[in-house]
């Protein structure tokens, strides 16, 4: 498979899982967290699908398209280990949806970041809250959700807090 075909499959899986997560939290109050802004495409998609919700973005250094940068009140800029840790106290048990796009392609780094995020998700999520992630961020007690039919297992991950 070409790198272009692989990229297309990845973003199709990403969109399908984000849309599924949005549908799953339709009746659940609470903010949305976007872990990793990148160029802002998924943040922009979340803004369309989660109108009326606060969306808080966590990014080490913002380099997104100017139309896809949140205001200062909704942006946590800096090292994820610091910013997400600080958010735990403020948002404990309130977050309806987390989208995490944190993969770097380096297995050692990705495993470390995934373990850090997985340990904080049960603290942040509201009961019934959903996570869509490019990395396996499951935690003890997380409910692994079925992926949309067009998404190959392992390409993306969906979890719900029981």
Question: Which mean pLDDT values do the consecutive 10-residue runs of the chain (162 residues) have?
Answer: 92 97 97 96 97 97 95 97 95 98 88 96 98 96 97 96 94
Report the pLDDT value the prediction gives residue 111, as an integer from 0 to 100.
93
Beta bridge partners of 144: 159
Superfamily of domain 3-161: Vaccinia Virus protein VP39 (3.40.50.150)
pTM of the model: 0.96
Phi-psi region of 143 (alpha: psi -120 to 50; beta: other; left: phi over 0): beta
Report the pLDDT value the prediction gives residue 103, as an integer from 0 to 100.
86
**CB-CB contact of 91 with 129 (8 Å):** no
Beta bridge partners of 156: 153
Report the pLDDT value the prediction gives residue 105, as an integer from 0 to 100.
82
Distance, in Å, from the CA atom of 110 to the CA atom of 113, rounded to the nearest integer, reads 5
Distance, in Å, from the CA atom of 46 to the CA atom of 144, rounded to the nearest integer, reads 21
């Amino acid at each position: 498979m070409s790198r272009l075909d692989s990229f297309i499959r990845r973003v199709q899986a990403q969109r399908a899982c984000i849309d599924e997560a949005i549908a799953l939290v339709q009746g659940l109050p609470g903010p949305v967290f976007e872990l990793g802004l990148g160029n802002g495409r998924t943040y922009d998609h979340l803004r369309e699908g989660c109108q009326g919700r606060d969306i808080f973005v966590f990014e080490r250094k913002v380099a997104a398209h100017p139309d896809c940068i949140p205001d200062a009140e909704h942006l946590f800029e800096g090292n994820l280990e610091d910013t997400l840790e600080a958010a735990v106290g403020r948002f404990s048990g309130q977050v309806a949806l987390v989208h995490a796009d944190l993969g770097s392609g380096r297995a050692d780094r990705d495993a470390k970041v995934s373990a850090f995020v997985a340990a904080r998700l049960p603290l942040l999520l509201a009961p019934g809250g959903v996570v869509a992630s490019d990395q396996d961020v499951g935690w003890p007690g997380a409910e692994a959700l079925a992926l949309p039919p067009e998404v190959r297992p392992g390409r993306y991950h969906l979890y719900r807090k029981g």
